[in-house]
Chains A and B, each alone.
Chain A
Amino acid sequence: MRTDRIRLIFVLLVLFVSVIFMLYPPAPSAKGFLGHLFGNIRLGLDIKGGSRLDYVMVGKKPTPELTGQVVTVLRRRLDDANFTEAIVSAVGNDGIRVEIPGIDNPKKAEKLIGQKAQLYFAQVLDEVRSSVKPAPKIGLSYAGAQWLQSKNSTDVWYLVNKYIQVGAGRLQLSGNYVSNARAAVDTQRGGWKINLTFNPKGASIFFQITQALIGKQLAIVMDNYVLSAPVVQTAIQGGSAEITGNFTYNQAQDLAALIRSGNLPVSLKLTEEQTMGPTLGADVIRRSLIVGLIGILLVMVYMLIYYLGAMGVVAVIALFYNAFFVFGMLALTHGILTLPGIAGIILTVGTTVDGNVIIFERVKEEMRTGKTMRASIAAGFDKSVAVILDANITTLITAFVLYYFGTGSIKGFAVTLTIGIVGTIFTSLVVSRYILDLMAPLIKNKYATISEQPASIKGGRSR
């Protein structure tokens, strides 16, 4: 039969594609049979462990450009600090989401993200030891000046002015003129320092400033703390400077990364944090796997008992087939499997069985009218198509809505549910059909009175 052959080709092709994408490319960290089978499925942070941090931008009116800028800066910062798997994305019109997989403690990432990293150079007008902020100084020469705390010793305050007096005019030098920043060993004082390189314009401003401030203190200010305030010895040409302050290696690295990646144009306020430790994650996935398997086994046993014989076997094969389909498509589409996503897969067991039950019941009814097995199967399937589509479209509608409105983990549910529904439709209408047809000679129609009866178009019971 030609249609049968076409069905077979589709059944094998889809299965082949699913299995191929599950196995290829081989997951590098895969261990054991199950590891290889599921190694290509990306797990959500709520399973494999990791952090999701949601921020809202404050300080400026959010525009798409501003959001893009923030995302780029954060992306660079996280890359720099080796959180290369982190995902930074804009959410809504003023939200920023950072997802970092696999880390036990998000503290470091939080620190990197939370800083605006606004770096600038300023003229030091006064230096005071005090436990509280000194009173502002009044006078024409103090216009625009402010008291800032030292980063290293909290009781040292500097009166700084970022508008640096150069000749008759005033110049500003901010981190935007820095083209590179590297941590380096501080050979003179010990510990670590940061070497800055300016771009050409920055180099020329830096030269003019250092020329004007010879013998005076120049403060390097970041996020309103004075990092260091060295005395300028000579006018510096060549466009390089250094920030010293007896940093540890890690401090110097982080600071250099922050300066390199540029400053954030806005402040970010944390609105939501979700962190999942890897131990709990592993426990969760093991439990979900066991739960899923128990559920599927119980369902298979029930189907085998209820539909003794061929139909029960078809239902079991359909369940396996759809499971391969769902995992294969997850691997193919790089969908992320979240915890609610597992629930979506488990629900797919229900929809797959549903599709088969609708068909089996119809076929049984057709058999009662005395048709041959093949004719019953054909009529039963034809009459089930509309119902199966109807039943699954309603679930698809909700899945789409959930995908659109849901956050990370709910989206995962929508994804597996959608794949599961598509798989259910295919499995019910094509896979089950093929196998049932194949098994038709093995099934005895106990209702058939005559060995061969013409397939009547009008099924159902007699009036």
Chain B
Amino acid sequence: MKNINFVGPRYIFISISLAMIALSIIFIFVRGFNLGVDFSGGTSMSVSFNNLKMTPSEVRGIFSEADPIFKNASISQLHNLVTSGTHVKRSLFSLTVGQFFSPNQKDKFEATVQEIAKKRGENVHFESFQTVSGYAAAGLRQSAMWASIVAGIALLIYMAFRFQFVFGVGALASLIHDLVITAGLYSIFWITFNSTVVASLLTLLGYSLNDTVVVYSRIRENLKRMRGKPMDEIVNVSINQTLSRTINTSFTTFIVVFVLYLFSGPVLRPFAFGMSFGVITGTYSSIYIASPILIGWLEKRRRKVALRR
């Protein structure tokens, strides 16, 4: 069977990863996240027009006439909306502003928009509407934070039970690696960061841990079977033995989430973005980071055990 040398150039890969992590941290702290309305408070709506040639700037024109806050709204055109059963197509836009709309404000606003659109010869429908007050956003941020903390602690406890200390540290390092880099990508590419993204990141933690668990349990097995062989060889053989599993699993998962990223609507796209790139970093880290960084520690431990004998 082919035997690829993964652990030889490990310092190069560890350096690349450290650089990626540093870049991500800089982006996260300097630029921050493009928070979704559920985290930042505000209103996001999707509206459709019967005019398929409608442009975002025309939409902005209509909406900012109704409420000047829409001058700074983020507006993007989505796929055309087709009513099921008919073949009537409507152009679809998503608009986001940082202001909360009370029921009364919403009623008035919608009526005004309808009126202005009518004057301009356009027919507008409000397809979806989400408005979040600062109070609710703070609550959601808090529960997202708690979810992350509890999931993190639960996974740590699991790892403590499942691995010896050295392996636990390695698994933790690769978890942090995947989490920070994926979160950094959200900041770098300015992808909406909302509560589904938190779900995506937490699921990713589980996935990344999967990959690591599979390689680690093979290393443990091989530590017994290949006693006396150099540590980097044991680790490298283990990575190679699990390689087709790692690649197959990651590739198939990547296929489904990437298809989801490409074709699903705006709601699931931020989620699928994290899953797609998270699977890539997770695979990379379980091959090039999680196991190679163990070599030094495992060797040290082996020397200690040998001395004691």
Q: Which residues of A contact B (CB under 8 A)?
A: 46, 54, 56, 92, 95, 107, 110-111, 114, 270-277, 279-280, 282-284, 286-288, 290-292, 294-296, 298-299, 302-303, 306, 339-340, 342-343, 346-347, 349-350, 353-354, 357-358, 361, 365, 386-387, 390-402, 404-407, 409-410, 413-414, 417, 460, 463
Cα A162 to Cα B106 in complex, Å, equals: 34
Given A299-B255, A393-B158, A401-B147, A280 and B210 touching (CB < 8 A)? no
Q: Which 10 A-B pairs have the closest CB atoms?
A: A350-B253, A295-B256, A405-B147, A395-B206, A271-B136, A391-B210, A272-B136, A280-B127, A401-B151, A354-B249
Q: How would you classify the secondary structure of chain A's contact residues: helix, strand, loop or mixed? A: helix
Chain A's closest residue to B154 (CB) is: A397
B175 to chain A, nearest CB (A): 10
Cα A386 to Cα B214 in complex, Å, equals: 10
* List of A residues within 8 angstroms of B133 by Cβ: 270-272
B289 at the interface (CB under 8 A from A): no
Cα A110 to Cα B207 in complex, Å, equals: 42
Given A346-B257, A347-B256, A394 and B268 touching (CB < 8 A)? no
Cα A410 to Cα B251 in complex, Å, equals: 25
Residue B214 contacts which of A95, A287, A349, A358 (CB distance < 8 angstroms)? A358
Residue B107 contacts which of A107, A274, A306, A399 (CB distance < 8 angstroms)? A107
Q: Please choose the segment from B8-16, B22-30, B195-203 that sits at the chain A interface, where 4 or more of its residues have CB less than 8 A away.
A: B195-203
B99 at the interface (CB under 8 A from A): no
Cα A392 to Cα B206 in complex, Å, equals: 8
- A295 and B255 contacting across the interface, CB-CB below 8 Å: yes
Chain A's closest residue to B88 (CB) is: A279
Given A295-B260, A395-B207, A409-B196, A401 and B244 touching (CB < 8 A)? no
Cα A463 to Cα B224 in complex, Å, equals: 11
Cα A269 to Cα B158 in complex, Å, equals: 42
A461 to chain B, nearest CB (A): 8
Q: Please choose the segment from B116-124, B138-146, B301-309 that sits at the chain A interface, where 4 or more of its residues have CB less than 8 A away.
A: B138-146
* List of A residues within 8 angstroms of B81 by Cβ: 279-280, 283
- Besides A274-B131, A287-B263, A392-B210, 20 more A-B contacts (Cβ < 8 Å) are A270-B102, A272-B131, A276-B127, A277-B125, A280-B128, A283-B84, A287-B264, A287-B265, A302-B251, A339-B268, A343-B272, A350-B252, A354-B249, A361-B248, A365-B241, A393-B158, A402-B203, A405-B144, A406-B147, A460-B221
* List of A residues within 8 angstroms of B136 by Cβ: 54, 271-272
- A340 and B199 contacting across the interface, CB-CB below 8 Å: yes
- A114 and B128 contacting across the interface, CB-CB below 8 Å: no
Cα A271 to Cα B259 in complex, Å, equals: 35
B83 at the interface (CB under 8 A from A): yes
Residue B271 contacts which of A295, A303, A343, A404 (CB distance < 8 angstroms)? A343
- B195 and A407 contacting across the interface, CB-CB below 8 Å: yes
B57 at the interface (CB under 8 A from A): no
A432 to chain B, nearest CB (A): 15
B76 at the interface (CB under 8 A from A): no
Given A347-B253, A358-B245, A275 and B195 touching (CB < 8 A)? no
Cα A270 to Cα B143 in complex, Å, equals: 19
Residue B129 contacts which of A46, A274, A286, A342 (CB distance < 8 angstroms)? A274
Given A296-B256, A298-B255, A395 and B210 touching (CB < 8 A)? yes
B136 to chain A, nearest CB (A): 4
B82 at the interface (CB under 8 A from A): yes
B179 at the interface (CB under 8 A from A): no
23 contacts between A and B (CB under 8 A): A56-B135, A92-B139, A273-B101, A274-B130, A279-B84, A280-B46, A280-B48, A283-B84, A287-B265, A295-B259, A303-B252, A340-B199, A340-B268, A346-B257, A347-B275, A354-B252, A358-B214, A397-B151, A399-B203, A401-B147, A404-B150, A406-B147, A460-B225
B12 to chain A, nearest CB (A): 28
Residue B249 contacts which of A272, A291, A292, A357 (CB distance < 8 angstroms)? A357
Given A54-B136, A270-B133, A347-B203, A397 and B265 touching (CB < 8 A)? no
Cα A342 to Cα B82 in complex, Å, equals: 21
B87 to chain A, nearest CB (A): 13
- B257 and A387 contacting across the interface, CB-CB below 8 Å: no
* List of A residues within 8 angstroms of B83 by Cβ: 279, 282
- B140 and A273 contacting across the interface, CB-CB below 8 Å: no
B35 at the interface (CB under 8 A from A): no
Residue B162 contacts which of A290, A347, A390, A405 (CB distance < 8 angstroms)? A390
Residue B158 contacts which of A288, A394, A413 (CB distance < 8 angstroms)? A394
Residue with the greatest number of chain B CB neighbours at <10 A, chosen from A288, A397, A460 = A397
A281 to chain B, nearest CB (A): 8
Residue A291 contacts which of B82, B144, B158, B263 (CB distance < 8 angstroms)? B263
* List of A residues within 8 angstroms of B196 by Cβ: 340, 343, 409-410, 413
- B202 and A401 contacting across the interface, CB-CB below 8 Å: yes
Cα A276 to Cα B94 in complex, Å, equals: 13
Chain B's closest residue to A351 (CB) is: B253
Cα A280 to Cα B154 in complex, Å, equals: 38
* List of B residues within 8 angstroms of A406 by Cβ: 143, 147, 195, 199
Cα A348 to Cα B92 in complex, Å, equals: 31
* List of B residues within 8 angstroms of A353 by Cβ: 248-249, 252-253
